[in-house]
Amino acid sequence: MLKLGIIGAGIMGERLARAARDHASDTVNLAGLWDPQEAAMARLAELAPPCANAADLIAASDCVYIASPPASHLGHARAALAAGKSVFAEKPLAVDLADARAFVAEAASARAAVNFPFASSPAVARLIEWLPGIGAPQSLTIDVAFRVWPRPWQHDAASWLDRPAEGGFTREVVSHFLFLSRRLLGPLVLLEQLVQYPDEGHSERDIRARLTAGGVTVNLTGNVGNTPKDDHNAWTLRGEKGAIRLRDWSIAERQSQSGIWVPDPDALANEKMRPISLRRQLQGVAAMTAGEPHHLATISEAFDVQRIVEAILHPDTAPMQEPE
């Protein structure tokens, strides 16, 4: 049994804790939970025993899941690795790109991975199965839209989720689709971008970008306020023989000859798909901690995604391309 400790009692910490208890109890034992806010820990006390501090949490665990705000990720990750534990971190790796790059070099041989659930998604597995049928990939579009930001269920975290230093939908949502693009097509190169911050002190409300993934042209759009849906997204890949897409996180679809999008008959809404993906993520965490091969997002993949995200958001401070 993997002894998993969780740092951060917010939305993501709770989701993984519940997935561990309800769907992966044959693989994972929740060793403890720590959050600097005692009320947050008390709220989740039924899921995992509270720890007095991060050091006690790390000591009690085989693997540390870091679900705290981004600015704290690398401090906790370095402490866990120094203690000989494995690390499963939320994205982004850090808020400082140079520090994230340094961590990738430091942890090159460490047992560390990042929580991009598309790595374990049955819907993504279906896309991979369909991929040969569309022929050579020719273009990819990524569209994300939100009624408001943060989304209604994230309001308790608005203090950082709606601030330009750590938050915004590009870091929180677009990064998942950039990871998917990199995993399925290849390394990312940003060609051009546009970002708008209409409300001073708040995160972005509109982005446009053109990039490539493994040489395939990618057109990316994201905005807040132009849809009645709380959360809408589509990742659409077109090839010389057809097209496939992932819609609203979990619906794999392929386009018929008449142009109609036909869902996978096994498709599930995201609320039902999420526990399945998180169980598979936790199985990957157990394999990683045991030093076995795993399918999780590597820290190198996560850094490549973060590099592109920061270049979209702050092109004057983050390079569009890595130096040779």
pLDDT tens, position by position, 170-227: 999 999 999 999 999 999 999 999 999 999 999 999 999 999 999 999 999 999 999 9
Res 127 pLDDT > 50 = yes
Position 116 scores a pLDDT of 98
Domains and their CATH numbers in the chain: 2-116+279-294 (3.40.50.720), 119-268+303-313 (3.30.360.10)
pLDDT at 323 over 50: no
The full length of the chain comes to 324
- Virtual torsion, Cα 109, 25, 125, 271, nearest 10 deg: -120
Let me know: does 65 contact 88? Beta carbons within 8 Å.
yes
State the Cα–Cα distance between residues 151 and 148, nearest whole angstrom.
6
pLDDT tens track for 252-288: 999 999 999 999 999 999 999 999 999 999 999 999 9
In which order are the strands placed within the sheet that holds 137-146?
188-196, 206-213, 216-224, 137-146, 232-239, 243-247, 251-255, 261-263
pLDDT at 324: 38
Contact at 8 Å (CB) between 173 and 144? yes
Residue showing tokens 């308790």: 156
Q: What is the pTM of this model?
A: 0.95
